[in-house]
């Protein structure tokens, strides 16, 4: 990611960070609506799961200038996701749910440049996770 993309991600994430339960709920509602087969993979309280998602996103977003700080946590998460049953193709569905959530939360501020920045950010994270998971 370049510096401008990092700034777009940080700035727009700040708007989601103030409402982690809402953003998390939007994400999982969209994910399950588009991919009903994912629902059985989640056994915990979805409100808590949404907050966990937002916490992990915050960790990634706030460490964009120094990704090495967060890579061990991302790799550990990837290994856990394999244990939960996440497959290679599932990463695309997660990207789409994330972008949709951002679009809903940001409205007109979800510009093509913001979409591109988040897509690059997600794809870089997903690439690290896939490599760590061996998928």
How far apart are the C-alpha atoms of 19 and 22, rounded to whole Å? Answer: 5
How much is the pLDDT for 135? 58
How much is the pLDDT for 90? 87
Number of domains in the chain: 1
Contact partners, residue 46, CB within 8 Å, separation at least 6: 24, 25, 28
- CATH number of the domain enclosing 22: 1.10.490.10
pLDDT tens by residue, the chain, 135 residues: 899 999 999 999 999 899 888 999 999 999 999 999 888 888 878 888 888 899 999 999 999 998 888 889 888 888 888 877 788 788 889 999 999 999 999 999 999 999 999 999 999 999 988 888 875
Range of the domain at 47: 3-133
């Amino acid at each position: 990611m370049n510096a401008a993309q990092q700034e777009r991600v940080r700035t727009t994430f700040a708007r989601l960070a103030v409402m982690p339960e809402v953003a998390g709920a939007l994400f999982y509602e969209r994910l399950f609506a588009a991919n009903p087969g994912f629902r059985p993979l989640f056994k915990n309280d979805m409100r808590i799961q949404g907050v966990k998602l937002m916490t992990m996103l915050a960790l990634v977003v706030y460490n964009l200038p120094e990704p090495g700080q967060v890579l061990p946590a991302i790799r550990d998460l990837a290994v856990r996701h394999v244990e939960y049953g996440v497959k290679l193709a599932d990463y695309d569905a997660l990207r789409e749910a994330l972008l949709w959530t951002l679009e809903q939360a940001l409205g007109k501020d979800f510009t093509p440049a913001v979409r591109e920045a988040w897509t690059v950010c997600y794809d870089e994270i997903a690439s690290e996770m896939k490599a760590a998971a061996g998928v």
